[in-house]
Amino acid sequence: MRRSMILAGACSIVAVACLGGGGLFFVERPTIVRVAVPSENHGDYALLSAASKVVRHNHHPIRFKLVDTPDAQAASTALDGGKVDMAVVRTDAPMPADGQSVVILHRDAAILMVPHGGEIAEVTALPGHTVGIVGAIENQDLLDTILGQYDILATAVKRIRLNRDEVAQAVADRKVDAVLIIGILSSAPVQDTVRAVAKAGGGPPTFIGVPEAAAVAQRSPAYDSFEVVKGAFRGSPPLPSEEFDTLSVTHRLVASSELSERTVADVTRFFLAERSALVALDPLAQRIEAPSTDKGSPLPAHPGTAAYIDDEEESFLDAYSDYIYLAAMFFGVLASGAGALFSRLNAQGLQEAERSIERLVEIFKLVRQAPTLAAVQDLEGETDTLLAASLDRSFARGLDERCVATLRLAFDQVRGAVRDRRDALRMPDAATLPQDRPTLVQAR
């Protein structure tokens, strides 16, 4: 019995270890997060590529798989279609219906400037003029929003889309009366565009603000009010020469509402806690910030993000308590079943051992009265059969030591009786006893 219990216990330990190891691997294995990133937005793509490297190097529980999309609208469509788990979007572009904010990657300000010596001093003077728009097509929508604040029809202002390297020539040739670019103030695209307008215009440009930016942002959640401080573009004298208000948009990482809170919390933690590691690879990471977790926010945060920011994350036990409880029940039932099986096998083994002992007692008596060597040999053969069966039961069914000792004593007594009776039958006066088969000596 002891050997069987040890063997069963060892098997149980191995089974539990395998199940536990498999469960731990399942829980702790890295989660692949598919992220749609507009390929036209080189800055965001570079930032997410840097994030992919950092999570691998620092062995985070998440991995990013970047999925190229043509533009922000395609990224939103991919998220709504379930092709990706997260997407990088721009808030004034069509937002995914199922998207919830994870982190704000950066804020882009709208910079509207007029070349040195130009006639335009404010937004209301734009009708009848041409604006060169640098960058994404969504920048035209932002211009329309600014014009709409002052009841200016979009068709009243002409516009030309420009690449960064076309700005200086367009200003020098007077093809445009103003230039609009949207981006991070300290970024190379914005800084280079401001310098190009200043150089081509022969002097510092005039910056056109949007004094009612706060009112626009209040009406439209896609925009925020943004203050451009004096000297934001450097230069001497400083550019701009005084601060002004304008509109800004945010580039956000948004997640599907169906993505688990634990995964989103891990992603949020990575971007907010590992900014220093990301900045070493991409300075744009300095602009990462947490989204608003207010219940009434027009761009709501994902519950996983809100839980991390508000310090309400579930612990491991909270997240997997149901599984732990079910596992405990399962192993409890398994242990009870194993115990019942061992008890039944033990009872069967004891019953069979008792029958063997009873038969050995009978054989002991029969050996004492055996008339021939052949009869003794038959009884000895039956004893050998009982011995083999008893040894098998002792190993497989775990008989206790007292039962085994009793069996050993019974076999010893029978063996002794067989030797005595065989010696007695081989004595000379035993030759007159009837024998129905050859004796052991004759057989040899």
Rounded-to-integer distance, Cα 93 and Cα 419, Å: 104
Q: Measuring CA to CA, how many Å separate 434 from each of 66, 144, 423?
A: 100, 128, 16
Q: How far apart are the first and last CA of the chain?
A: 42
DSSP conformation letters of 428-440? GGGGGS--SS--H
Residue 367 — pLDDT band, cuts 50, 70, 90?
A: confident
DSSP conformation letters of 56-86? HHTT-SEEEEEEEESSHHHHHHHHHTTS-SE
Is residue 203 within 8 A of residue 114, CB to CB? The reply is no
User: What's the one-letter identity of residue 350?
Assistant: L
Rounded-to-integer distance, Cα 59 and Cα 346, Å: 51
Residues 6+ apart with CB under 8 A from 345: 4, 397, 398
For residue 385, pLDDT beyond 50: yes
**Using one digit for the tens of pLDDT, what is the confidence trace for 148-188?**
999 999 999 999 999 999 999 999 999 999 999 999 998 99
Average of per-residue pLDDT across 1-24: 50
**Using one digit for the tens of pLDDT, what is the confidence trace for 236-286?**
788 999 999 999 999 999 999 999 999 999 999 999 998 999 999 999 999
Closest residue by Cα to residue 21 from 29, 11, 30, 10: 29
Pairing of strands 86-90, 31-38: parallel
User: Is 119 or 434 the better-scoring residue by pLDDT?
Assistant: 119
Alpha-carbon dihedral sign for residues 427, 432, 436, 442 = positive
The predicted pLDDT at position 322 comes to 61
Closest residue by Cα to residue 143 from 128, 135, 154, 151: 154
For residue 381, pLDDT beyond 90: no
Q: Quick one: residue 226, left, alpha or beta (phi over 0 = left, psi -120 to 50 = alpha)?
A: beta
Closest residue by Cα to residue 268 from 313, 314, 304, 315: 304
Rounded-to-integer distance, Cα 367 and Cα 414, Å: 8
Q: How many Å is the maximal CA-CA distance in the chain?
A: 149
Residue 337 — pLDDT band, cuts 50, 70, 90?
A: low
The predicted pLDDT at position 90 comes to 92
Closest residue by Cα to residue 307 from 289, 290, 288: 290
For residue 423, pLDDT beyond 60: yes
Q: What is the residue extent of each domain of the chain? A: 88-314, 346-443
Is residue 338 within 8 A of residue 12, CB to CB? The reply is yes
Q: Quick one: residue 270, left, alpha or beta (phi over 0 = left, psi -120 to 50 = alpha)?
A: alpha
For residue 101, give the 3-state DSSP assignment.
Answer: strand
Is residue 267 within 8 A of residue 291, CB to CB? The reply is no
Rounded-to-integer distance, Cα 367 and Cα 421, Å: 7
Question: pTM to 2 decimals?
Answer: 0.66
User: What's the one-letter identity of residue 440?
Assistant: L
Matching CATH number, 88-314, of 2.60.40.10, 3.30.70.2660, 3.40.190.10, 3.60.20.10: 3.40.190.10
Q: Output Rg (C-alpha) for the chain, integer angstroms.
A: 44
Rounded-to-integer distance, Cα 41 and Cα 143, Å: 19
The predicted pLDDT at position 406 comes to 80
Rounded-to-integer distance, Cα 257 and Cα 78, Å: 14
**Using one digit for the tens of pLDDT, what is the confidence trace for 278-307?**
999 999 999 999 999 887 778 899 999 999
User: What φ, ψ does residue 5 adopt, rounded to 5°?
Assistant: -65, -45
**Using one digit for the tens of pLDDT, what is the confidence trace for 87-142?**
999 998 888 988 999 999 999 999 999 999 998 999 999 999 999 999 888 899 99
